[in-house]
Amino acid sequence: MTGADVEAVLEANAPDLHRYLLRRLADHEDAAEALNDVLLTAWRRREQIPADPHEARLWLYGVAANVQRNQQRARTRRAALVRRLRADPTAQRPVEPDAVGGEVRDAIDALPGELGELVRLRHWEGFSLAEAAQVLGIPASTARTRYAAARRRLRATLSPLGDEEPEPDRSARRLGVPVVAHD
């Protein structure tokens, strides 16, 4: 792959990689730094980038997965340090706009090992399980087993959410036109 080819692959995938990192790091500066690390790593290892564009994309996501894991490790260490400083340990948390989405994300985060990332790659990034396995560097059969385990755990955790009675449609009542009797 020539330098121009590498440039093209990186440019084509950078926006998606940035969104991938933003979804996991939830901090613009961390995501920007992580993206820079991904591109630097890709450039240094450019001879390893597959020639096929789709394979190259998966390879880049694999790099991004490692980079964000490193970032999260640094963030974990940083957060532990910052907690010693701040009276309000929740001050740095991003605002959570939707409660249900937040609960589901918490449940995904709580999954052990790679289970959570498998779910995110499948449902957030739209990868097949085989592609997700490639990103994570694990056999597809392992990915399938782990994904099934993840779903079992999530179903148990999230069932109360899915079983809730739907809210009555108050907007319909508010906006409803009074019934007028016709002759």
Partner 1 sequence: MNDTELDALLTASRPEDEHDPDCAACRAALTRRPAHPWRRRLAVAGAAGVTVVAIGAGAAATVGLPFVDHDAPVKHTQTVSNGDQCQSTFTVHAEGGHRSDPESVEAAKAILAGLDLDALDISEELASLKEEYAHTTWEGPGPEPDYQYALDSQDMLENQALSRAVMDEISTGLRAQGLRPGQVSLVTESLCDDHEMATRR
- State the minimum distance, in angstroms, from the CB of residue 182 to partner 1: 42
If one asks whether residue 144 binds partner 1 (CB under 8 A), the answer comes out as no
Stretch that binds partner 1, among 53-61, 71-79, 127-135, 174-182 (CB under 8 A): 71-79
DSSP state of 47: G
CB–CB of 1/68 below 8 Å? no
If one asks whether residue 10 binds partner 1 (CB under 8 A), the answer comes out as yes
Residue from 43, 130, 141, 148 in contact with partner 1 (CB under 8 A): 43
If one asks whether residue 140 binds partner 1 (CB under 8 A), the answer comes out as no
If one asks whether residue 19 binds partner 1 (CB under 8 A), the answer comes out as yes
Closer by beta carbon to partner 1, 81 or else 179:
81
Of 121, 69, 2, 31, the residue nearest 39 (C-alpha) = 31
**For 2, left (φ over 0), alpha (ψ -120 to 50), or beta?**
beta
Residue from 49, 64, 136, 143 in contact with partner 1 (CB under 8 A): 136
CB–CB of 139/62 below 8 Å? no
Q: Which residues bind partner 1 (CB under 8 A)?
A: 7, 10-11, 14-15, 18-19, 22-23, 26, 28-41, 43-44, 65-66, 69-70, 72-74, 76-78, 81-82, 84-85, 97, 100-101, 104-105, 108, 111-114, 116-117, 119, 122-124, 136, 151, 154-155, 158-159, 161-163
